[in-house]
Amino acid sequence: MADTAINRPADNRVALPTGEPSRGRIAMLTADRVEDVEFFYPYYRFVEAGYDVDVITPSGGELTAYRGMGLQQTTALADVDPGDYLMLYVPGGLAPTALRENAAALDFVRAFAVADKPVGLVCHGPQMLVSAGLAEGRRLTSWYEVSSEIEAAGGIWVNEPVVQDGSFFTARKPGDLPAEMHKIMEHLAQR
């Protein structure tokens, strides 16, 4: 009798390492109700490119995405140090609305900005820049409903698929992710 559970990971959505030496660590900061595609597309893309990815949530444990996908285990925000990562990525959906109320999450984002490390955000993700006081004077894009928040915070909202302003990379929606990830990967390769 064959054991069908052999070699089957406990969580079939966890990206397995490529077997190549790591190119460094990426932090993905999110919470429940993250948009599934906006989380998993960059998550798998970073792993495919040889980066180790830590999925960080306010309390650690299980992550449940907006459309029902997710991960069984994430790392608690209190257990990580921004200095250990090459970059930060914040996916959208409803997760940024919850994260922006969390002082530790805002401090985490600020730490990457102060260190001039890349920060990628998509859809509602730029709300984190607004709440962290990092939008003023910056050219950013986002889901259109976030445009007024960016402008009220002194940012310059542009309706383009991908906008890079210094170390910030923003995109509007899931369909912009291939272009955003291409820009991010080019940037990481130059660092």
187 is catalytic: no
Among the listed residues 100, 124, 138, 172, the single catalytic one is: 124
**DSSP codes of every residue in 78-112:** GG--GGG-SEEEE--BTHHHHHTT-HHHHHHHHHH
Which of 174, 167, 168 lies closest to 150, judged by CA? 168
User: In degrees to the nearest 10, what's the CA dihedral of 20, 22, 164, 111?
Assistant: 170
Find all residues with CB under 8 Å of 3, minimum gap 6, and list them.
none
Residue 176 is encoded by which pair of tokens? 């912009």
Q: Which are the catalytic amino acids?
A: 124
